[in-house]
Amino acid sequence: MQTQKTFNQWPLKKLLPALTLPMALTSMLLLSGCNEQAAINTEAQPEVPQTSEATAASEVEPDSSADTNELDTGEQVSTRNQPLSIDWSRIDSGQKPVATEDFTYPFELEGDSVKSQAKFSDISPKQAQHSLTVGMASNEPLEKLLDQLGDSYLSHKFSESEAKLIVYTTPNVKPSQHDYVIAHEFAQGLTLPIEIIPQPKTEDLESTQPDDQ
């Protein structure tokens, strides 16, 4: 009697095709399922919202144009369109003057700075010693002067040879001179001469220039 072949008796070459096809189909289904899940996750991912700090910053960001407009509306008061005289009572420090021979100067008479100043300004060492000391405090009355002069102020300088403060102004300011007593401890009690010198108008200067031939 002819016996029926069992599963284990099938040749290997006949079993491989039968097993390969189901495995391939299973792999394709699993791969397809993974791709669909990835697409779903990508589409479902929400957008990252702005942080509360960024949102608050955008809401409270100031309008710079508004500030500019407010600054531009302020009008500067000019003093050039009227005669002007310095009120020296508003400039004075209230300090009592001290005689130069009674003052103890911070610069040594034989020091290098005094010798250099004397040579540069062509003055005596004693004058140079006084000029250096007064010059260090010569800006003290300027702020009060500028409060009165406004835009009539042009420039200023300290004359080392005369130990004097010279202030140049527009023509509407009345020329004047005044002895200011320094209050700063560096030169306290020393006298600083101040001279106000108005400058001629530009057109007046041009009219005095010779014509080019």
Hey, is 79 helix, strand or coil?
A: coil
Residue 167 lies in a domain: yes
List the pLDDT tens digit at each of the 213 positions of the chain: 444 444 444 444 444 455 444 454 455 544 455 455 544 454 544 454 454 444 444 444 444 444 434 434 345 578 998 999 999 999 999 999 999 999 999 999 999 999 999 999 999 999 999 999 999 999 999 999 999 999 999 999 999 999 999 999 999 999 999 999 999 999 999 999 999 999 998 755 444 444 554
Q: What is the pTM of this model?
A: 0.61
Closest CA to 161 of 190, 134, 184: 134
Residue 190 lies in a domain: yes
Look up tokens 């009690």; give the residue: 189
Q: Which domain holds residue 164?
A: 103-203
Residue 70 lies in a domain: no
Residue 212 lies in a domain: no
Residue 69 lies in a domain: no
State how many domains the chain has.
1
Residue 75 lies in a domain: no
161/23 Cα distance (integer angstroms) = 111
Look up tokens 């002069």; give the residue: 149
Residue 192 lies in a domain: yes
Residue 13 lies in a domain: no
